Structure 1
């Protein structure tokens, strides 16, 4: 039986520095061996397995929320590109989507993705291209109103060309921001992954026009050798 995610950040607890070495098997590319060795030695991968999360990315949103406190009881949350569901798993207990925290307001977690996603207890998941016409109205219909948080860990398929990938993910983030402008409640929060590279200046300017504060953060769970960072925009002006 899979373990129920705790929704708590237990960074550093019970970790042991036991490095696993992987030999390159016949027919396996050296790059695949390096990826496998990194996975086997990644403490966040091990914690995700131990704590019942669907991926190490769950700890990124945990760490961001611990700093900015946007996943609060009663919050209505939209997770764009939610596969495999790790961010939804984190959001459910934090916003009290199951209503099992006595005395706390009950929130709502809505996940949308292009592909079918395995059900996450406490979250409502729909297969949807959020960039299609009328997607914002569908989201508001499923929510029964507007959202308090729109978050996205989406990344475009890698082309192998760093600058091209940077432009693609910035464009994806801009599209997510446009949807957030349509569905967010005044005072709401937008959280999204971007890749550092220069082209995100337009996105930053756009967000600063619509939010009170815009921060750029690289949470501890984000790998040191990755160019990814997260933009956290709070205080939506409506």
Structure 2
């Protein structure tokens, strides 16, 4: 559907802020570009992210999950996989007190990894230009952990889309299983895990596999996740530990 050259929308972000957004000079742009601009400028989570100094709107996905289940606590150690541009890391740093701003609480640790470089975040250990799935990167993470165990492993990783559904599903499942295998190595008993994947029939097998190691596994679709997006999250709590054969 074509958008008119000038579109005015009013929207509220949590009843706190009201802003008028105006499109101008859209004539000649592709329909897809007009629709993308409309979504960007009228999405309340984008506006809230700006107001709260989050690097992108995805911060509210993790915020919503943690507000409900309280998996991020002061003093916790967190691994953030696929962290760029850093919004999940920002949430994690604040909630586990990795930046030490809550002087009366224990100070946690956040290690953030991404194949892309991204700007530093106060309180986080940033491993940019690092492929989480590589053995080299995982060894680096273990060095930073030292003798400590991990309380939460987060993965907002997603592969570059190929346009071939079967291949895209296989690629994101591979990322999920890579995250799970690493979590089994470094997590303390009782730890939590969050991984992102696409809605697909294969997700049930992944859920079952995670359930072998965690007491409680749930499929999540946060309100901040766009309705036209196929993304879902598997959230697992209460890591059972791994019994050596």
Answer whether TM exceeds 0.5 for this pair: yes
Q: How does 1:1-238 map to 2 (within 5 A)?
A: 12-16=14-18, 20-21=22-23, 24-26=26-28, 28-127=29-128, 128-144=130-146, 145-238=148-241
Alignment partners' CA distance in 1, 2:200 and 2:64: 23
Unaligned runs of 5+ in 2: 1-12
What is the match of residue 4 of structure 1? none
Paired positions, count: 227
What SS class does the counterpart of residue 215 from structure 2 fall into?
A: strand
Distance 2:213 2:136 in 1: 22
- Larger gyration radius, structure 1 or structure 2: 2
Where 2:122 maps in the other structure, the secondary structure is coil
Cα distance between partner residues in 1 of 2:179 and 2:37: 32
Encode CA deviations 1:83-114: one digit per residue, 9 max, x unaligned: 00001111111101122213211101110111
Q: More deviation in 32-41 or 52-61?
A: 32-41
- Please give the alpha-carbon distance, in whole angstroms, between the structure 2 residues aligned to 1:130 and 1:190: 15
Q: 1:166 to 1:15 in 2, by over 3 A?
A: farther
SS in 2 for 1:232: strand
Q: Shift of residue 172 of structure 1?
A: 1.3
* SS at 2:196 equivalent: strand
Question: Does the 8 Å contact 2:78/2:150 carry over to 1?
Answer: yes
Q: C-alpha separation between the residues in 2 aligned to 1:196 and 1:82? A: 21
SS at match of 2:189: strand
Q: What's the CA shift for 1:167?
A: 2.6
The aligned residue for residue 4 of structure 2 is none
Q: Would you say the 8 A contact 2:98–2:109 is kept in 1?
A: yes
Structure 1 residues 205-214 or 101-110, which shifts more? 101-110
Paired with 1:160 and 1:120, the residues of 2 have a C-alpha distance of 33
In 2, are the aligned partners of 1:136 and 1:183 still within 8 Å (CA)? no
State which drifts further: 154-163 or 173-182. Answer: 154-163
SS of alignment partner, residue 212 of structure 1:
strand
